[in-house]
Amino acid sequence: MKPVFHINFDFDTDSLLEEANKQLKDKSTASHRGYEVMYDDWLFAPGGEVANEECKRFLNHYDLEEGDGRYHLLKADSYLIPHVDIDSTCGVNHVLSTDKAPVNYMKEEYTYKTALLDTTQKHGVVNLGYPDRIIYKICFRKHTYEEVIQKINGTH
C-alpha cells in the first residue's frame, strides 16, 4: 500500500491560510515543539477556530471519532529530514501554500493538494526552490492509516 492517499475534500483553504499566517507569526503559539536542533526551519502552531471547525467538518463527513487540526510551516529553501512522527499514526495534510514541494518516502516522491499520509513510515520534504510550505494537518492517534482510508472510501 502506498504511504500517500489522495483525498478530494473541499477545505476552506482561504480561511485556513489566513488563520495559519496569524498563528504561525504569533510567537506565543508558534514553536519548534522541542525540535530546534534538527528542525530550525520547521514551525508548528495549534489550530484556532477555523482549524477546529474544519477538523470537525472533516471528521463528521467521514465518520471518524478523533483527530486534531494544527498548522505547520517549512521555510523556503529548507528541508525536513526523513523522520517518523512520534505523536500520530497518520495525518491528513492540506497544502495551503501555492507551490507544493513533494513529500518523500525513501525513493518515491508524492505531490498532493490534500492527502492522508502514513506517518509511521519515514518521510521528509525537500523544499529547495519553493516558497514557505504551509500545511493544515489533521493528526490521528487512535486510527491507523488503513482504518482512515476505509472510512474515506466508505468501507467501514
Read off the pLDDT of residues 88-120 as tens digits, 9 standing for 90 and up.
Answer: 999 999 999 988 889 999 889 999 999 999 999
Q: Which three cell numbers stand for residue 118?
A: 502514513
| Domain interval for residue 147 | 4-153
- Sheet containing 103-105: which strands, arranged edge to edge? 79-83, 123-126, 103-105, 108-110
Chain-centroid distance of CA 24 in Å reads 14
**Burial grade of 100 (CB within 10 A; 0-12, 13-18, 19 or more):** middle
Residue 19 half-sphere exposure, CB side, CA atoms within 13 Å?
Answer: 20
- The CATH number for 14's domain is 2.60.120.330
- Element of type H or E holding 36: none
The whole-number average pLDDT for the span 23-51 is 72
Residue 28 pLDDT exceeds 70: no
pLDDT score recorded for residue 35:
45
Supply the pTM of this predicted model.
0.91
Q: What is the mean pLDDT of the chain?
A: 90
As for how many domains the chain has, the answer is 1
| Higher pLDDT, residue 29 or 124 | 124
Three-point CA angle 9, 134, 62, nearest 5°: 20
Between residues 33 and 19, which one has the greater pLDDT? Answer: 19
d(CA 156, CA 45): 32
